[in-house]
Structure 1
Amino acid sequence: MSQGDDQGYGGDSGGRSDDPYSTLGGTRQTRTRLPDGDGGDHGRRPARTSRSLVTVVGVVVLLIAAIAFANRGGGSNDEASDGNAKKPGTTGTGPTAATGTKPVQGKNGTIPSGFAHDEQGAQSAAANYAVALGSAGMFDKAERDTILDGVIAPSSVEKFRSTLDKAYSGTFFRNVGLNEDGSTPDGFTFVSRTMPIGTKVTRTSGDQSTVEVWCAGLIGLAGEGSTKPVTNGWFTITMELVWIGGDWKAVTHSQKDGPAPVGGDTRASSADEIAGAVNGFGGFTYAR
């Protein structure tokens, strides 16, 4: 859920830890001035050379290929599933490459729903559920209950709700910079986002699937003078999913740190820039 959550939700441990967590490929053209011929035909346009003709033909071929490629992706869901989609690990598709299959047909509130009853669908569900369970909405009781109802299997909802009601305590809220009741202090913007990097199925059997989601995340308080500035983290979420009521739902959720890359040398943005980005950039529906 949030980046500081090293303990599993729905597991025996329960609770949350207190430590949250251009270049464009343009073509450079050179104009060559040819010498005038002896006949003095000044102003005559030189004949197009074979090299120029080859260049023009090459550009046209590339354009046609690009248009054909773009049009190929505009088919129906059935066409994508039957013709173009490839299972992870097969020839032509790397383990983290997108398949092109459209992930969902609808939404349950703000959460995508209607995932396919296959491995791809389970991975898409796990990625989108990771986003929901790591969102700022989880810090509000009413929103948290709505999210849980949307992503957790009915048989596990009450266990999750009870565990999380205890985990989202006044002490935890203070540790991430919020007021004790979970509200955001005046003049600040609270940030909690999870961004899936990739997914993989580790176990599958009919109506059950275990999916790992490698994620990056942001959490903290953006604003002038914040003592809990927005920081980033890397973690892997594991979800056990079941197929129930025509969709995938989570029955367990756990999280561990990493894999984390070496930090870059990008300059840290100001609090105002971070707040502006959070308020100005929306999220995505994730698909395997």
Structure 2
Amino acid sequence: MSLGDDREGQTRTRLPDAGGDVYGGARRGGRSSSRSMITVVGVVVLLIAAIAFANRGGDGSGASAGDENKPDASSTAATGTRPVKGKSAGIPGGYGHDEQGAQSAAANYAVALGSADMFNTTTRHAIVDTVYAPDVAASRQADLDNAYSSEQFLTNIGLDKNGAAPSGQTFVSRVIPVGTKVTSYSASSTSVEVWYTSLFGLSGDGSKNPVSESWYTTTYQLKWIENDWKVTDFQQKDGPVPVGRDQRASTADDMTKAVEEFGGFTYAR
């Protein structure tokens, strides 16, 4: 089991390589020229036009009744299978008994298992009891209690022995799934890979472990138990990791505000 092997306050900075490449491909050319700028602008204009055309409602006659800016009902209607039927311990549950349901379960379970709630004993127990199969929940609970109660581990990431952040700082631990993939499937068991980015660290003035971004892929082994998908095991590996852009890091106040104001999602395939 991995708890974020190199999260102890290390921040990596990727500097541009003047003569290298990104993924073994061609070199990057000059940043700006009149020709490349015209090309980019042209592509953007065409893209906007294509999106507008694709989202245009109506019967194609060009006639409009009412507000022309009001979107057609079909362009905003929900599609696909409803991902869940309810929640338990704040975690979506009641997934479909198919590949789509298994992928939805894996994505939502990844969010719960990677959340800051795992650092609180009460909420951690509720999460483990909800996402794990009953026959493995008890043993996994003990393993996780040992890991998350380690004072050395908590000290390394800047938390006190109770898993609380220092005064004036906010602890951030979030998983944002990017995609899912079924690697094996049967009616009783399935294996699903979840590719995600993770935000982890302390936001606030004086933080020695600022919030940083990491990328992982976790493979979840799921079983169909009591009319739902439950985790029996998982394996985590690094990446794939995209190339970082030259964006200015937000201030501690902006990061704290964002974490407090932006909620999470229920993920579905």
Instruction: Return the TM-score normalized by structure 2.
Output: 0.75
**Higher mean C-alpha deviation, range 171-180 or range 208-217:** 171-180
SS in 2 for 1:216: strand
SS in 2 for 1:263: coil
Matches within 5 A, 1:232-243: 232-243=213-224
- Please tell me whether residue 20 in structure 1 is matched to residue 20 in structure 2: no
Matches within 5 A, 1:200-219: 200-219=181-200
What does residue 268 of structure 1 align with? 249
What does residue 101 of structure 2 align with? 121
SS in 1 for 2:96: coil
- Please tell me whether residue 154 in structure 1 is matched to residue 159 in structure 2: no
- Please tell me whether residue 164 in structure 1 is matched to residue 144 in structure 2: yes
- Please tell me whether residue 221 in structure 1 is matched to residue 202 in structure 2: yes
For residue 247 of structure 1, the aligned residue among 207, 228, 231 is 228
Amino acid at match of 1:195: I
What does residue 86 of structure 2 align with? 106
- Please tell me whether residue 69 in structure 1 is matched to residue 50 in structure 2: no
**How many Å separate the matches in 2 of 1:261 and 1:69?**
35
Higher relative contact order (CA 8 A, sep 6+): 1
Please, what is the CA RMSD of the aligned residues?
2.6
SS in 2 for 1:70: helix
SS in 2 for 1:268: coil
Q: Deviations over 1:108-157 (max 9, x none)?
A: 12100110000000000000000000000000111100000110000010
**How many Å separate the matches in 2 of 1:104 and 1:167?**
31
SS in 2 for 1:123: helix
**How many Å separate the matches in 2 of 1:101 and 1:60?**
32
Amino acid at match of 1:102: R
What does residue 257 of structure 1 align with? 238
Amino acid at match of 2:210: P
Q: Deviations over 1:187-235 (max 9, x none)?
A: 1000000000000000111110000000011000001010000000110
Amino acid at match of 1:249: K
What does residue 19 of structure 2 align with? none
Amino acid at match of 2:144: L
C-alpha displacement at 1:165, in angstroms? 1.3
CA contact (8 A) 1:18 1:175 kept: no
- Please tell me whether residue 142 in structure 1 is matched to residue 122 in structure 2: yes
Unmatched segments (≥5 aa) in structure 2: 9-43, 50-59
Instruction: Return the TM-score normalized by structure 1.
Output: 0.71
**How many Å separate the matches in 1 of 2:103 and 2:194?**
8
CA contact (8 A) 1:19 1:175 kept: no
What does residue 193 of structure 1 align with? 174
**How many Å separate the matches in 2 of 1:185 and 1:115?**
38
C-alpha displacement at 1:58, in angstroms? 4.3
Q: How many residues align?
A: 219
C-alpha displacement at 1:60, in angstroms? 4.6
Give 1 or 2 for the bigger CA radius of gyration: 1
C-alpha displacement at 1:19, in angstroms? 2.6
| Cα pair distance change 1:275/1:68, threshold 3 Å | closer
**How many Å separate the matches in 1 of 2:208 and 2:99?**
43
What does residue 96 of structure 1 align with? none
Q: Provide the identity percentage.
A: 50
Structure 1 outlier segments of 4+, above 6 Å: none
CA contact (8 A) 1:18 1:172 kept: no
**How many Å separate the matches in 2 of 1:226 and 1:68?**
48
Amino acid at match of 1:156: V
Unmatched segments (≥5 aa) in structure 1: 1-6, 9-15, 27-55, 75-79, 81-99
SS in 1 for 2:105: helix
**How many Å separate the matches in 2 of 1:59 and 1:251?**
57
